[in-house]
Structure 1
Amino acid sequence: MNVEEIRSEQHFNDVLASSSDVLIDFWASWCGPCKSMTPVFEQVANEKVAELKAIKVNIDDIPSLAQKYGIRSIPSLLLLKNKLVTSEHLGAASKSDVIEWLNEH
């Protein structure tokens, strides 16, 4: 699997430092739409493994990251290029919708 679960803010910073393009899934274990996005996110990560690093951030485990990125609803996908947010996708979506969104950015 090409999705890395972030365990701490330091771990997150290490990933950002080592990858130019990062796709982040902000989620929580109690969130139904987040659970439906998990297989979609994993499929997208597998397809885009050559282009970007895919990571998941549980907002309950690391609320500081959710706050830092202004996450107000989940699931939220953020695309970062060179550590800067270039695009955001809110809510559950199909694999084709996520791929299309990524291809546009």
Structure 2
Amino acid sequence: MPVTAIKSEQQYKDIIADQGYTAIFFVAPWEESCKGIAPKFKEYAENPRWKDFKFYRVDICEQQDVGMTSGVKMAPTFHFYKDGAKLKEYVGSSYPALERTMGAVLAGH
């Protein structure tokens, strides 16, 4: 599945209310750690291991209202939802930590 850009606050609200697992990457495109982890997030979206997730990206510079609504304080930040409920948040750019967080979400931890 490709990583879909979120372009409005209403789209964001609709996405987080959706059924199933959702992974949202909040990015500041000029920030070096965001640039570093963005290709990995795209790779996860294309990896069958993570097929249960729908992957989204929010540019918090362009969509400041979404960043504020979601409570993002720094980038990169990742939010994970299931059936409209926020399950976990990961702030940082460590590939292993992000993978562990995603695995924990799917395992129900």
- Decide: shared fold, TM above 0.5: yes
| RMSD (Å), alpha carbons | 1.7
Aligned to 1:60: 61
Aligned to 1:88: 89
TM-score norm. by structure 1 comes to 0.86
Partners in 1 of 2:43 and 2:88 — Cα distance? 19
Q: Is the 8 A contact 1:76 1:88 kept in 2?
A: yes
Q: Is the 8 A contact 1:4 1:55 kept in 2?
A: yes
Partners in 1 of 2:71 and 2:18 — Cα distance? 23
Aligned to 1:36: 36
Consecutive unaligned residues of structure 2, counting only runs of 5 or more, are none
Q: Is the 8 A contact 1:2 1:49 kept in 2?
A: no
Give 1:28 shift. Answer: 1.2
Aligned to 1:11: 11
Aligned to 1:26: 26
Q: Is the 8 A contact 2:18 2:83 kept in 1?
A: no
Q: Give per-residue Cα distances to partners, 1:27-62, cap 9 Å, x unaligned.
A: 112111101011111111112552010000011111
Structure 2 CA distance for partners of 1:16 and 1:29, relative to 1, 3 Å: same
TM-score norm. by structure 2 comes to 0.83
Aligned to 2:102: 102
Partners in 1 of 2:4 and 2:31 — Cα distance? 19
Instruction: State the AA in 2 paired with 1:62.
Output: Q
Consecutive unaligned residues of structure 1, counting only runs of 5 or more, are none
Give the percent of matched residue pairs that are identical in Structure 1 and Structure 2: 24
Q: Is the 8 A contact 2:17 2:85 kept in 1?
A: no
Q: Is the 8 A contact 1:19 1:52 kept in 2?
A: no
